[in-house]
Amino acid sequence: METRANFVLIGSFTLAVIAAAFGFVLWFQSLHTTKARSPLRIIFEGPAAGLRNGGSVNFNGIRIGEVMSVKLDNPRRVVALAMVENNAPLRKDTLVGLEFQGLTGVAAISLKGGEEAAPAVPLDEDGVPVLTADPNALQDVTEAIRGTLQNINRVVADNQQAVKNSLHNLETFTSSLARNAQKIDDVMLKVDGVMGKADSLMLGLNTLAGGKDGGELFLTVKSIRELAEDFDKRSGALMADGRRTLGDISRAVNNLDRNPTRLLFGAGNSSTPAAASASTPTPPPAAPATPRRQ
């Protein structure tokens, strides 16, 4: 029983320490946030279309805070309270306006410019800094949005028939797709079949050209190359034998041309006819006949 009481005490103490740590972190974060930001009141002398709670406050395009509340001070005056960073270089001559993200986006407070030597932002009666938006700038933004919408309306009006035809063509196309859905599915099935056959063909070619042992094509080319090399060696030997045979025939023909009697009488009797022919005197050539004179 005493051991169980010790466990309960230890668990309660652990939970208390964890809760205290979370509370300290939240308190420190809220204190840091409070010190890092301060309130800023912005007055719009006219409409502030699109401005709402949670909207951004941008200085030269960089977010420095957010809108905390928007209220009407009178029928022609809108007052917005924002929390902005303390290090934002706000001055008395800082320009205030609205900027939009697209035609239907939420409006954001836009702060721009200001001289470094200009005085700080003036304080309101309750000590909150206050800036007043330029009515001309707000009017310019409103006029720009209105002009853009008018231009879009004019473009749509001028091309009403073209837009109508495009929509009609789109409707016809979608209807045709709906009617031919089965045919399209059949075509896609055939395409899938063709792609499957192409994959099989590529796999066969890969097996033929590649494979673990070099592929059937590689082995075939290797066999043809070995056959060509063997044929080259055999033809070389055959040509060498042919050259030797032709040499022997050439020498035999030359010997026959120099001593043809050797073929008839043999090698032993070849000298007798030659000697006889050498001892027999050769008759002198006959003198040419002299023509008679008439």
User: Could you report the per-residue pLDDT of 274-289, keeping only the tens digit for each?
Assistant: 444 444 444 544 444 4
Residue 261 near residue 274, CB atoms below 8 Å:
yes
Convert the pLDDT of each residue in 255-266 to its tens digit: 777 776 665 555
Rounded Cα distance, 24 and 31, in Å? 10
pLDDT of residue 36: 83
Condensed to tens digits (0 to 9), the pLDDT of residues 68-93 reads: 999 988 888 889 999 999 888 888 88
Residue 46: strand pairing partners: none
pLDDT one-digit tens code per residue, 14-32: 888 788 887 776 766 655 5
Q: Give the residues across from 40 on adjacent strands.
A: 82
Q: Is the pTM of this model over 0.75?
A: no
pLDDT-derived band at 39, boundaries 50, 70, 90: very high
pLDDT at 234: 78
What is the band of 171 on the pLDDT scale with cuts at 50, 70, 90?
confident
| 107-112 and 130-132 strand pairing | unpaired
State the Cα–Cα distance between residues 27 and 16, nearest whole angstrom.
Answer: 16
Give pLDDT tens digits for 213-257.
555 666 777 778 888 788 777 777 777 777 888 888 878 777 777
Closest by CA position to 274, among listed 261, 292, 288? 261
Amino acid occupying residue 240: A
* 116 within 8 A of 89, measured Cβ to Cβ: yes
